[in-house]
Amino acid sequence: MSVLDVLRERGFIQQLTHENEIAELLDKENITFYIGFDPTADSLHVGHFLGMMVMAHMQQAGHRPICLIGGGTAMVGDPSGKADMRKMLTAEIINHNGERFKKQMQRFIDFSEGKALMMNNADWLLRLNYVEFLRDIGMHFSVNRMLTAECFKQRMEKGLSFLEFNYMLMQSYDFLELNRQCNCIMQMGGDDQWSNILSGADLIRRKEAKPAYGLTFTLLTTSDGRKMGKTEKGALWLDAEKTSPYDFYQYWRNVDDADVEKCLALLTFLPMEEVRRLGALKDKEINIAKKTLAFEVTKLIHGQEEAEKAEQAAKALFGGAGNLDNVPTVSITTDSLGAKLLDVLASTGIVASKSEGRRLIQQGGLYIGDTKVADPDLLLTATLFENNNLLIRKGKKNYHRIVIE
């Protein structure tokens, strides 16, 4: 199969320019392509992981990826899919975040000699002369056409700043610069980037009189259209310090039945024959597919050892076997005994605040082991512990362990 067929079969492809040309090009040549990542946080999240899976499939087929860190564009902020203007970040924070991105990307992409490039658009965007940029690049953009782009439509209702309006020009210039420096002829990105990608390809044709191509891949959403990767603690991060390997494993272990096959196709390298077999399982057997999904994705992000630990922790909690030490654990001293359980849960971070814990109790969602907590003033006593362990459950399967030092 061609890499385009692989991406299509696994459900990645949403839109692409010049489909026949791209198909022929990818079959006959090894091309250079890029995907951009704006470092607006100090870790990649699972939405970024989708893009890196596309990169990995392309690299396995012999094509060269450029991971473009948006050190320059992050200072403006992409309005795509945003209801409000992004918080302005300092250059120091952006640089720090970019360095963290680089370390995480090296787990998925082979950056050995000639295999892939990692670049930062701050290297050219921050050196631009604004008037020269407007004369050289801005003249090729129609404001009327830009205002019809999906990436701007949503923001027009609340107000689109002129700062953000420049983002399309900057991203298009990135494509042009990478084409000039590295003969990069294709940009890929999430489907919300389609307008920006088209503008960049058009700019290359106008300035260089050469063909350029674009391809968008699906955004990671549930079967009913909701964005995946959101937890009660926020985004599902790839950094183990922000989302523990256990919590990461449990997220995928608990996805809806309808989303299992899609996630297996997009987020693992399992053969599609096996993906379809697992996705066809019904009723209780679908749990086999969910366990496979959770293990495979955790292994890719955190490595084999951490995936096995997370799997063992899940077995300890839900199957009566395995190592309980791998369950997310907090320690307290005997001084905490006699205090209100809610105070201890809030101080250890098991709940974000006492008010959140109180709401959880009122909604019937807080348990000690399998016993529902009904009293918000319940005291934490030694009798609640078994072998120095106290298991706290939030909702159906979100467990934490409290131990006494």
What residues act catalytically?
40, 45, 48, 82, 86, 171, 192, 227, 230-231
Contacts with 180 (C-beta within 8 Å, 6 or more apart), sequence order: 208
As a whole number of angstroms, the distance between CA 67 and CA 116 comes to 8
As a whole number of angstroms, the distance between CA 314 and CA 310 comes to 6
Contacts with 142 (C-beta within 8 Å, 6 or more apart), sequence order: none
Cβ(393)–Cβ(369) below 8 Å: yes
End-to-end CA distance of the chain: 57
As a whole number of angstroms, the distance between CA 36 and CA 41 comes to 14
As a whole number of angstroms, the distance between CA 191 and CA 338 comes to 54
β-partners of residue 188 are 215
Q: What is the 3-state secondary structure (H, E, C) of 240-307?
A: CCCCCHHHHHHHHHCCCHHHHHHHHHHHCCCCHHHHHHHHCCCHHHHHHHHHHHHHHHHHHHHCHHHH
As a whole number of angstroms, the distance between CA 37 and CA 60 comes to 21
Residue with tokens 């995946």: 228
Q: What are the structure tokens assigned to 182, written together? A: 């590295």
Question: Residue 318's closest CA among 231, 391, 244, 243?
Answer: 391
Question: Residue 169's closest CA among 123, 218, 136, 209?
Answer: 136
Cβ(152)–Cβ(143) below 8 Å: no
